[in-house]
Each structure stands twice: as structure tokens, then as C-alpha cells.
Amino acid sequence: MPPDPSRSQLKIRRVHLDTGRENVVVVSRRSKALRADIFRGFSRVELRLDDKTLLATLLITDDDALAAQDEIGLSEPAFHRFAKPVGTLVTVAPAAPPESLEAVRAKIRGRTLDKAEIDAIISDLAHFRYSDMEIAAFLIGSASFITSDELLALTGAMAQAGTQLVWPDQIVVDKHCIGGIPGNRTSMIVVPIVAAHGLPIPKTSSRAITSPAGTADTMEVLARVNVGVEEMKSIVSSCNGCLIWGGHVNLSPADDVLISVERPLSLDTREQMVASIMSKKIAAGSTHLLIDIPVGPTAKVTTAMDAMRLRKLFEFVGDRFGRTVEVITTDGRQPIGNGIGPVLEANDVMAVLGNEEDAPRDLREKSLRLAAHLLEYDPKLRGGAGYARARELLDSGAALKQMQKIIDAQGPSKCSTDLGPSSFDVKAAHDGTVATIDCLRLNRLARTAGAPLDKGAGIRLFKKIGDRVEQGEPLYRVYTFEGPEHDLAASAAQQETGYIVNGHEVPPGRTPS
Amino acid sequence: MPPDPSRSQLKIRRVHLDTGRENVVVVSRRSKALRADIFRGFSRVELRLDDKTLLATLLITDDDALAAQDEIGLSEPAFHRFAKPVGTLVTVAPAAPPESLEAVRAKIRGRTLDKAEIDAIISDLAHFRYSDMEIAAFLIGSASFITSDELLALTGAMAQAGTQLVWPDQIVVDKHCIGGIPGNRTSMIVVPIVAAHGLPIPKTSSRAITSPAGTADTMEVLARVNVGVEEMKSIVSSCNGCLIWGGHVNLSPADDVLISVERPLSLDTREQMVASIMSKKIAAGSTHLLIDIPVGPTAKVTTAMDAMRLRKLFEFVGDRFGRTVEVITTDGRQPIGNGIGPVLEANDVMAVLGNEEDAPRDLREKSLRLAAHLLEYDPKLRGGAGYARARELLDSGAALKQMQKIIDAQGPSKCSTDLGPSSFDVKAAHDGTVATIDCLRLNRLARTAGAPLDKGAGIRLFKKIGDRVEQGEPLYRVYTFEGPEHDLAASAAQQETGYIVNGHEVPPGRTPS
């Protein structure tokens, strides 16, 4: 398309502003070609160059260092997505909202959406055409009520909006855990066990958004995880499994966009959670899926009733998309394993795989249980034999060998495995028995200490629920890299340890060693 | 409160970014004191200095020109609201969402909110503690369903969140029009008529957000409109009336915040419109209120049924707050007056007040009708005598004299009254009668031409519905100040004139003179 002569052209400039997911551009209030203020009523603009377009939210500046009169400043996400060199002339015009927003408004007014409308919304979301406010409108509009048909349409549209993996095998297994539990790195044990048995398990994982570590962050301590689609296929073909970051594979990109707004608003609904997880797993080409729902007072799911409702939704969507879905509930009252934070969790994982004496038993047992369920999807395995087979693969060292093979195939990690050099212990204020451990509190404390950004920051637990402690005995140790994190974490731990011993909170003032 | 030593302190820097209503701050990714990435999971931060706090949305930068390692860059709205000098050390910490957001989430899940919850939400909104996404969450959560009690609580909370005017008079009248109709500057004629009669009418108006002119923008052509509360009181005491911008008086500030998100999302609901208008009028101390609802195919309200539903809501809220509310519907099929844009509309107004021969009759008649309703609130006036009294005050020049008095009291305008020097005519493609005029289209065209930023940009209409036109005869003239606006407006008018003559659209390609 030739440039429209009546439309303004501006030179691209790069503005080093990380605006998260949202495309943001900056224009001078004295812009020669573009009367920025005219656009204030619109607040969104469209950049166009040949066939390439980008919708962005407009900010105005009086500072030539951000954007001179003949320039348009592209924030980092806008610059990368538009992918044109600095200095390129682009056409800029006020942007009408995406047409699919009309369906969002209808949903807000209470109308049920049809498949075509949901497809259009998801396509616009996946192409970053919605502003954060518009994303919020869709999320909230569908938070109060969503029909079964809408849920299916949403899941299907999200699965189709990005990469869709196809595998040569009849059975492709996968697992997913409804997060919230610190530690809990079962995937890194389950995948090598199942892969060692011979079932394909191409696992993609997320990075932490609000937690101190995602499986991708922890695996990155051991191996490269930024792996693309073609490389992923070759790794799975040689190792039966992989443990990579989902971000490079682009499964269900609309889901990533929705999550970026869901999280700050704390807006998870059951239906959105199911659509999110199932869309990723369907796009990943899994045929047999195990969902782990930890239940506990500080877990994401707090009651058995909630877990059951969630299970039914997973089963319903799985059935309609022809996938075998099994949902189990697990103990979510406390962290799994002893480490919280990438390096500490990776150490736990390797201790379990290496059958080391001090390996955390809870992590080992939970991983064996999950692996057992997945192994029984193998028609050649005798019913009930899954657990014994999983233990055999773990105890014999076959799983560790498989993990080494996967690590070698993914390539070496560039991360240091050092723990934070600046640590302090949080100690019991009196004798007693550990009654409760607050998962939310420990997650937040590990983040304050620097995880996941500092791989070696985090928490090592010495005591779990039911353990006897004596006054002054350490409950856990916090590792940090820098002074400010140390002070912030110490002050947070002093305020509230997250442990209740014998029904008494550890009082403040006793904690930093 | 002493600075918390474990919290990070950063130096204030001013970043010349106009981020609209939202507080935005910029922190270096390599920030020494504040590990910015740790905060990414939070995305909102709290600035604190002594008792002063500010919630803001966090952006990350790699550019020391925006924020060095020991600095925090405050965008324009954040800088003005925090109101501390550049270089001041402030404490920065991750910010939890405002507590009232829990009530917003409950509303989204379908629960009805009580008065205390609505009060807390409105207070947080009025103090700029909500992010744009959070505002959207509240708007959408209450868009699908709101009870009568919630509507009353919302109106009351909004009215109480800002300035509340008190007048010495028993009767204080006011009028409001549910916008959408270009021209339609009746307030600037009604206020001097009613004030000349002796009834107090302290009118505050808005500036244009998505239209080519608000009453405040048009009045600004004739007089200063940025008037504060004390000055407003003295003007009304000496002139019985005023015509000022509401922004300086701070009536219902939460409403301004809500509107800033409603508009880009096109989310007006009846209830939100009523709460918005009534909260402003209650805070303004009006006792007797006239609401004008123009009804037409391209007006905000398109059917008589919709107008009636809206009328009932206004009456309900008015009654509960002890205000006399009268709602009338008017012809909203086409613009009122001949001018669209501040200078052109001000010319229309002064022509009507000056009883000039070519003054637009529709603007005169509608203003007389509205003034008549307001005058009859005067117990001393005989029932049915309002119209004659209004015409007497207008025809005798008393209204014009009153307007001059108000203009003198408010002070001289600093705006030029020149019309845009670059103009073009849009002409009829064939003989016929004007059948329809698209209000939305003409509003948008006048904005493209530069209004309201360029006071003298806009449209002068030569033909209205029912007028005979000959082929080639001008339908309207578009005034602009600069080349790009001229070209953009000409191209837009060529695409669609907004006029249908004799049932036929003026075809493209005939328009620019």
C-alpha cells in the first residue's frame, strides 16, 4: 500500500522504556507532522509501514530527548514488535479500537458470545491489539459469567492462536500443577523418569511472574531453556522429553497476554484458569494429561469442594477436545522439598535424582506418585504397576542418566550455581512442634531476598509441619546477594516468620542471626 | 514517620511524559537501591515522604537519561501530585493494591456492595490510588448490574469526594445536557437569561474530551474560565451566574477519574451517566435542575424509550437527594446552531444574545425553551409565564448585558477569536433536500480539523435538515490552521460528508473546493 499523503509520517526512535506487555509510543506535544493533542481523545494510534501495522497507546512529551517534533519514540515492546530500524519513516494515525471490542462490550452487557466473536477477540489479543484496559474489560466481562460453550470456544481459540505442535507418537503425556506451593519442582523429576521409561513428555514451563521460581527458572540453573520449536522437536526425538521455557515456543500467546493483566488484578477465575492451562496443553499436542491440584489453607485452591469443581471443568474441556485428563489433589499445606528459589530447588531435584541420603523425601514421594500416574498411560504397563516402575527408574539411576541426557541436549546453563553469600537464620522462639507453614508468606520472602532474578537467592527450610523444634533452633535460612535485599528480607521475616510452632507465632525480635 | 532504613530511597527526577490521568514512575533496571525487577511482579509502587504518599505504576528503563541508578523518574501527573522538588529523597516500596479493590472483586463476582465499600472505592479513586486497569475493573464490574441502593451510594460518595458548594439562596438552578449534539451551546444563552431574571445559576462546564468543543472551551473564547471556588462565589454573588470550567472547582473528582477510562472503552451505562451528572450537580449545591436529553439517530440517546428510562433514573436519584429534577427530551437529529468548534459556536451565541438578524433560530428557540423551564422554578413567576419572560429578557438586551457582566467578572479571554485561515467547502453533489445530518461524523470532522485545541478550527453549516440545495452549493465550510489538518479533514470529508441529500449520500470526489 502506498503511503497515504494526508497521513503524518514520523521517524522511528527507540525509547528505552520497558512498558511490560503493552505497546507504548511517545510523541512530542509540538510534533510537526502529528498534532499530538488532537489524538488525546483517541489515546491509541496505529503505526503503518507497508503491510506492517502496530497498535499502541500514546504518551505525549515536551522533551526532545524522548521524541523530537518529527519523531515517534517506540518503547521496548513496541520497538521489538514493529521490528524496523531507528530512523525509518512510518505513517501514524489515530487508531479506532479493535472491532472485536464490540463483542467485549456485548459480553459486559450480559450477552453470550459465539465462536466467531471469541475467535476475533483472541486473535486481536494474540496480536497485541488490545490496550491493558481493553484486556481488563474482556477479563472482567467474562469473569462474572461464562457458558460451557464460551469456555470451549475460548480454549480452542487460544490453542489455535499460536504454535501448534504435532508429534509422531500416539501417546504424548504431560503434567501441570496449579502453582502456589513453594519448592514443588516435581516436573524436573517426573520428566526424566517418564522419558527414561520411553513415553514422550515434551514439557514446557513458565517463568515466575509473582512467585520466587518457575520450573523454567529452576531448570535454567542446570541447562539452557530458551529453546525454539525445531530444536525442541529434535531434543524430544532423541531424549523422549525436555524441560524448556514455553516463552520461546509461543504456545497460546493470547494466554500470556491475559495473564499479564489477570495477575496485577488478582482476577483468576476457575474458567480462565482451565482455558489458560488447557489451551497451552492442547497447543503442545499432549494426548494424556495429569493435573495436580495442591489443596491447603495458603495454596491457590483452599478446599476439597473447590478442587472438585475445578476437576470437573478440566475433565469437561479435556473430553470435548479428545484429550485424556486425570486430575489429582495433593497435600498443599506446606512447601515441597527444602529449597525455595532456583538454585536451592535445583539442588533438591538433583539430590532426589541422585538418590542422595539427605534428598527431601516429600519431593521424592510426590514425584514418584505423579510419575506413576503418567506411566500407567502406557498400555504395555500392567494396571497398578506405575509406582513400582517409577521407583525402579529412579532408584536404578536411569532417571538421573536421562536427566543428564536432556541437560546435554538442551545445552549448558550460563547461570552461576552459587548461593547468595549473605544469609541469616530464622529461629524458633520456643520449644514445640511446627503446626503450620504459610506458603504465600515464604513465597513473598524468597522474592524479597532476590529470587528468581538472583538464582542463588531464596530460602532453605530446616523444619516442616510436625517437626519438633527447640528454642533458638533455626527454622530456615534466607540467602541474599546484596545489602538492601538482606535488610528487606530480615525486616520482613522479623515481622512474620510464616511458621506457627505449637499454635504460637514466633514472636518478632529473635530472628536475624 | 521516620524513614524506614530497610526501605530504598531514591532521588526525584522529573520525566516530561504526559501519562494522562495515571501516575507513572520510571526506575532504572540497574537501580542501586531498588531492585526494579523484583518489583515486576508487583508493577505498582508507593512513594513516601513524611506523611505524603503516592501510588504509581512502575516502568523500567535502561536509559540513565530517564532515571539513573539512584533516581526515580516521575511522569508529569505524578510529579505534580507528589509536589516535591527535583532531587528530594523519597522512600519507594512495592505497593499492595488499594484495599477497596477487594470490594471491586466481590462486585465482579456478583455481590452487591454496601455504602461503606462504595465510599472506600470512591475515596481511593478520587485520590488517584487506582491504576487504569483497576478503574476499568470497577467500571465493568458495575456496568452489568447495579442496584438502586448502589446507585444512590455511588452518587452520594462521588458528590462528597471533592468540593461541596453551599449557597445562601433557597433556590439555586442548574441545567445539564446529555452531550453528543454539535453546536448546542444553550448554556451560554440560558445562564445570562436566568441570571438577568435574578435566579442564581452557578454553572460549571466540562472541556471537550472526545467532542470538538465543551461549553468551557467555547466560553473560553469570550472570558477566562479557569476560576477557583472563592472567585466563583464572588462572581455568582455579583452576577447571579457564571460560566466556568469545572476542573478548577474540583466537583466530584472521582467522576473525572472514571470518565478518563469510560471514554476510551466507550463504556457509558445509564447508571454511571446518572451518578456522574447528579454527583456533580449535588456537589455544586443546585436545588432545581433541568436535564436536556436530545434524542436522535446519531445522538447519545437514540430512542424515546431509552430517554424515558434515563428520565426515571434522574428523577429517582433527584428525589432521594432532595433535589427538584425535571427532564425534557429535545430534537437531537442534527446540530444546534451553525457553528461547530469553540470560536464558531461563540459567534453563534453572541449573535443570539445580540438579536442579530442571521442568528441561528434553532439555538435561540431551544435556549428560550430551556430558560423558560428554569424561570418557572421562581415561585414569584406565574405558571406558564416562563417563556414570555425569557423572550423578554433576551429581546430587550438584558441577557446580553448580563452576559457582558459575567464576562467582565470572569476576566478577559487570552484566546484569539480568529477563524482558521485555511478553509474548504463541502458541496452538494446534486439538487435535493437535506434528509439527515450525522452528528457523530461532523463531531469527528471538526476534531480532525483541529478543534478544540485550535479554537478557530471547526465547521460552519450552511444547510440543515429540510433545506433545499442545488448541485454544487456548499453544505458546510471547514476551517483549519495547518496543512496536515486541512489535508486530513479534506480526505475525511471526501470519504463521507455526513449529509444525506434527498436520500442519496453525496458521492466522494466532489467535495474540496
Spatial neighbors of A96 by CB under 8 A, at least 6 apart, are none
Cα–Cα distances in Å, from A303 out to A251, A297, A332, B110?
A: 31, 8, 10, 21
Closest Cα in chain A, distance from residue B60 (Å): 5
| Among the listed residues B165, B282, B182, B296, the one whose alpha carbon sits nearest the alpha carbon of residue B235 | B165
Residues of B in contact with A208 (CB under 8 A): 41
Which residue of B lies nearest to A95 if distances are taken between CA atoms?
Answer: B264
Residue of A4, A6, A13, A485 to mutate, testing the B interface (most B Cβ within 10 Å of its Cβ): A6
- Judge whether B484 is closer than 8 Å to chain A, CB to CB: yes
Closest Cα in chain B, distance from residue A59 (Å): 6
Which residue of A lies nearest to B61 if distances are taken between CA atoms?
Answer: A17
Which residue of B lies nearest to A492 if distances are taken between CA atoms?
Answer: B6
Residues of A in contact with B267 (CB under 8 A): 105, 108, 137
| Among the listed residues B452, B494, B472, B418, the one whose alpha carbon sits nearest the alpha carbon of residue B185 | B452
**pLDDT (0 to 100) of residue A42:** 59
Strand partners, A437: A499
Spatial neighbors of A388 by CB under 8 A, at least 6 apart, are none
Which residue of B lies nearest to A451 if distances are taken between CA atoms?
Answer: B38
Residue of B92, B112, B140 to mutate, testing the A interface (most A Cβ within 10 Å of its Cβ): B140
Residues of A in contact with B453 (CB under 8 A): 35, 37-38
Give, for B348, the enclosing helix (H) or strand (E). Answer: helix B342-353
Full DSSP string of A334-395: S-BSSEESHHHHHHHHHHHHTT-TTS-HHHHHHHHHHHHHHHTTSTTSPTT-HHHHHHHHHH
Residues of A in contact with B133 (CB under 8 A): 132-133, 136, 261, 264-265
The number of residues in chain A equals: 513
Residue type, B198: G
What's the whole-model pTM score? 0.83
Closest Cα in chain B, distance from residue A8 (Å): 7
CB B138 within 8 A of CB B107: yes
**CA angle in degrees (0–180, nearest 5) for B166-B169-B173:** 85
> Cβ–Cβ of A35/B108 closer than 8 Å?
no
> Cβ–Cβ of A38/B140 closer than 8 Å?
no
> Cβ–Cβ of A265/B210 closer than 8 Å?
no
Residues of B in contact with A17 (CB under 8 A): 26, 59-61, 63, 66
Compute the distance between CA of residue A40 and CA of residue A23 in angstroms, rounded to an integer: 16
> Cβ–Cβ of A17/B37 closer than 8 Å?
no
Please give, one letter per residue, the 3-state secondary structure of B272-291.
HHHHHHHHHHHHCCCCEEEE
Compute the distance between CA of residue A450 and CA of residue A342 in angstroms, rounded to an integer: 11
Closest Cα in chain A, distance from residue B222 (Å): 22
Closest Cα in chain B, distance from residue A29 (Å): 9
Closest Cα in chain B, distance from residue A187 (Å): 23
- Judge whether B141 is closer than 8 Å to chain A, CB to CB: yes
> Cβ–Cβ of B38/A6 closer than 8 Å?
no
Residue type, A76: E
Residue of A34, A265, A422 to mutate, testing the B interface (most B Cβ within 10 Å of its Cβ): A265
- Judge whether B267 is closer than 8 Å to chain A, CB to CB: yes
**pLDDT (0 to 100) of residue A20:** 81
Catalogue the active-site residues of B.
268
CB A370 within 8 A of CB A290: yes
Residue of A42, A59, A140 to mutate, testing the B interface (most B Cβ within 10 Å of its Cβ): A140
| Among the listed residues A163, A191, A105, the one whose alpha carbon sits nearest the alpha carbon of residue A410 | A191
Residues of A in contact with B482 (CB under 8 A): 35
**pLDDT (0 to 100) of residue A507:** 53
Full DSSP string of A126-182: HTT-S-HHHHHHHHHHHHS---HHHHHHHHHHHHHTS-----SSS--EEEEE----S
Low-confidence residues of chain A: pLDDT under 70: 1-7, 32-42, 503-513
Compute the distance between CA of residue B167 and CA of residue B173 in angstroms, rounded to an integer: 11
**pLDDT (0 to 100) of residue B216:** 95
Full DSSP string of B437-466: E-HHHHHHHHHHTTTTTSTT-EEEES--TT
Cα–Cα distances in Å, from B51 out to B22, B54, B444?
A: 21, 10, 45
> Cβ–Cβ of A265/B134 closer than 8 Å?
yes
Compute the distance between CA of residue A142 and CA of residue A107 in angstroms, rounded to an integer: 7
Residues of B in contact with A267 (CB under 8 A): 105, 108, 137
CB A137 within 8 A of CB A108: yes
> Cβ–Cβ of B65/A65 closer than 8 Å?
yes
Question: Going residue by residue through chain B (513 aa), what tens digit of pLDDT does each one get?
Answer: 344 444 578 999 999 998 888 899 999 888 866 665 555 555 788 899 998 999 998 888 989 989 998 999 999 999 999 999 999 999 988 787 889 999 999 998 889 999 999 999 999 999 889 988 899 999 988 887 899 999 999 999 999 999 999 999 999 999 999 978 999 999 999 999 999 999 999 999 988 877 899 999 999 999 999 999 999 999 999 999 999 999 889 998 998 889 888 877 877 788 999 999 999 999 999 999 999 999 999 999 999 999 999 999 999 999 999 999 999 999 999 999 999 999 999 999 999 999 999 999 999 999 999 999 999 999 999 989 999 999 999 999 999 999 999 999 999 999 999 999 999 999 999 999 999 999 999 999 999 898 998 999 999 999 999 999 999 999 999 999 987 789 889 999 999 999 999 855 555 544 444
**pLDDT (0 to 100) of residue B110:** 84
**pLDDT (0 to 100) of residue B266:** 79
**Catalytically annotated residue among A268, A306, A425, A487:** A268
Residues of B in contact with A35 (CB under 8 A): 450, 453, 482, 484-485
Spatial neighbors of B175 by CB under 8 A, at least 6 apart, are B186, B187, B190, B201, B203, B289, B290, B291, B292, B370, B374
| Among the listed residues A290, A455, A291, the one whose alpha carbon sits nearest the alpha carbon of residue A374 | A290
The one-character DSSP state at A183 is B
Cell for A434?
511446627
State CA B311 to chain mean position distance: 20
- Judge whether B137 is closer than 8 Å to chain A, CB to CB: yes
Cell for A455?
538464582
> Cβ–Cβ of B35/A453 closer than 8 Å?
yes
Residues of A in contact with B136 (CB under 8 A): 133, 136-137, 140
> Cβ–Cβ of B144/A108 closer than 8 Å?
yes
Closest Cα in chain A, distance from residue B500 (Å): 24
CB B465 within 8 A of CB B333: yes
Spatial neighbors of A404 by CB under 8 A, at least 6 apart, are none
